[in-house]
């Protein structure tokens, strides 16, 4: 499967999962020192070969469609970690809703309520609000001081990186579910995972989590 074919399939999965209303959101995949990213206004459920732009990792538009204004956000995750080979940015409803609330903690806006969030996504900080397309969003995600592969953008949505497109889409879906559960339990006395359980899950699955020092 070519990178374009994989991107088209990933876009359809995101729409089918309810994570990309209308023409919102964008996805990308890394090929060597370049990335293919959906162009401005592309609908993720109707992608075709002409829907994509090709950029260098320095942000130079090399060919294809008019580049998405969110391209710097994607580049920030690629430049942060060479293991990031695909990026999904969506305005999914529960992620957007949770991004409009105060974060659970400095290192993660989302509390560890289920093992699957810790295993598949890991800590997900809330990045400061910037207007959509602000190049500083890429700087924010690149310079975050703790290990991450996902973040909420304040009052905006979510961005997730993966080892490939299937991995990134899976994490985006799990992140949306974690946000939904956090919102559903917000008004209750909820039971979070014990910090030792969180640390054990993160270590076993190799997911990022800045746990407090435990005796």
Positions annotated as catalytic residues are 70, 116
Rounded Cα–Cα distance for residues 90 and 159 (Å): 7
Rounded Cα–Cα distance for residues 181 and 117 (Å): 10
* Of the candidates 75, 79, 78, 40, the residue with the CA atom closest to the CA atom of residue 59: 75
Q: What is the SS3 assignment for 10? A: helix
Dihedral sign for Cα atoms in the order 157, 137, 37, 65: positive
Report DSSP letters for 76-140, one per residue.
HHHHH-TT--EEEEE--HHHHHHHTS--SSSS-SS---SHHHHHHT----EEPP--TT-THHHHH
């Amino acid at each position: 499967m070519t990178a374009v074919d994989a991107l088209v399939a990933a876009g359809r999965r995101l729409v089918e999962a309810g994570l990309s209303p209308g023409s919102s959101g964008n996805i990308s995949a890394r090929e060597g020192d370049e990335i293919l990213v959906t162009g401005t206004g592309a609908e993720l459920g109707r992608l075709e070969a002409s829907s994509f732009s090709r950029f260098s990792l320095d942000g130079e538009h090399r060919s294809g469609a008019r580049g998405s204004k969110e391209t710097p956000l994607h580049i920030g995750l690629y430049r942060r970690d060479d293991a990031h080979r695909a990026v999904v940015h969506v305005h999914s409803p529960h992620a957007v809703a949770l991004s409009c609330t105060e974060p659970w903690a400095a290192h993660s806006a989302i509390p560890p309520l289920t093992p699957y969030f810790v295993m598949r996504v890991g800590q997900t900080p809330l990045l400061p609000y910037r207007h959509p397309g602000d190049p500083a969003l890429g700087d924010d995600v690149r310079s975050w001081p703790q290990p991450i592969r996902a973040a909420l953008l304040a009052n905006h949505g979510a961005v997730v990186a993966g080892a490939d497109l299937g991995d990134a889409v899976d994490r985006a879906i799990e992140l949306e579910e974690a946000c939904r559960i956090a919102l559903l339990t917000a008004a209750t006395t909820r039971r979070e995972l014990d910090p030792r359980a969180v640390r054990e899950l993160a270590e076993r699955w190799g997911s990022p989590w800045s746990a407090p020092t435990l005796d």
